[in-house]
Amino acid sequence: MTDTDTLQISLAQIAPVWLDRAATVARVAESVVEAGRTGSRLVVFGEALVPGYPFWVERTDGARFDSAVQRDLYAHYQDQAVDLDAGHLEPVVTAAARHGIAVAVGIIERPRDRGGHSLYCSLVYVDAGGEIRSVHRKLVPTYEERLVWSPGDGHGLQTHALGRFRVGGLNCWENWLPLVRAALYAQGEDLHLSVWPGGEHLTRDITRFIAAESRSYVAAAGGVMHADMIGDHVPHRELILADDRGWYARGGSCLVAPDGSWVIEPVDAREELVTALIDHREVRRARQHLDPVGHYSRPDVTRLVLDRRRQSTLEEA
């Protein structure tokens, strides 16, 4: 084993200041600093962490058409979403550059290239120099998420060099999409990041499955959220809390090696920064038997097409 084979990474299982962008960004930046000080070169956060997952939908009759309650909550969510062009992630970018650590964080994005009012569940990758390298908009929002989030595109399906590793990532249930996973594998991914709203029931099985399928390290990062964390600034707070005052998200962050064994078992119902040292040699050893886009593939029989164009309503001549 050589020094260049190893990489220290951290999973930041934290809670948002729910539906408060600036306060949550500050929490993320603090965790970036903490992870950087431990010597980690990558820190991963949960899905939709900034400004938070839309837990209100299933608790407030979210499918009722033209509901004043839903319009109020959506308007607030939109106001607190992340406009990358406005520099809303600047504290995170600055912390990454200052401490030489890459960051993968889930956000709710309000992109100007789609008019600035629709919302996307996006995974942002910031490199160790503080540059935003990719923004992957979730391809298909899941179930009630479709009442709040818009479908994304393939533009952010990219991998990035980090030491000897190539890092890629997906949001929540799109990790179940085999063709999308394969699009990352084919770009050399050997450290897969999956981000989730939070829960061992989401992360325990699929994290080990993806590791076994891809012969890669797989890191799953989830958030935590309890009813007690809903602040007075949230519209219709009492209505949201009326039926349930327990856990909304319990974390479940974990890390699996290329042979499917646990490096970090799922962390349940607490905020914690967990850190591990991973070894690229283990990827190379595991790929002797199976390399799903290399020697164990048949591109003459099956091939995959990836459209990386950023979707837009407007194309200027």
Mean pLDDT, residues 7-27: 98
Give residue 64's pLDDT: 96
pLDDT at 99 over 80: yes
pLDDT tens per residue across span 247-298: 999 999 999 999 999 999 999 999 999 999 999 999 999 999 999 999 999 9
When pLDDT is cut at 50, 70 and 90, the band that residue 1 belongs to is: very low
The whole-angstrom separation of Cα 119 and Cα 136 is 13
pLDDT at 202 over 70: yes
Mean pLDDT, residues 65-71: 98
Mean pLDDT, residues 69-84: 98
pLDDT at 186 over 60: yes
Map tokens 């903490």 to a residue. 34
Strand 42-44: give its sheet, edge to edge. 132-137, 120-126, 102-109, 42-44, 6-13, 272-279
Dig out the tokens for 179 from the structure. Answer: 């063709």
The whole-angstrom separation of Cα 203 and Cα 199 is 7
Give residue 36's pLDDT: 98
When pLDDT is cut at 50, 70 and 90, the band that residue 217 belongs to is: very high
- Specify the CATH number of the domain 3-286: 3.60.110.10
Map tokens 């935003």 to a residue. 132
pLDDT at 196 over 70: yes
Mean pLDDT, residues 132-144: 98
HSE-up (13 A, CA, CB side) for residue 280: 16
9 phi-psi bin (left φ>0, alpha ψ -120 to 50, beta other): beta
Mean pLDDT, residues 4-18: 98
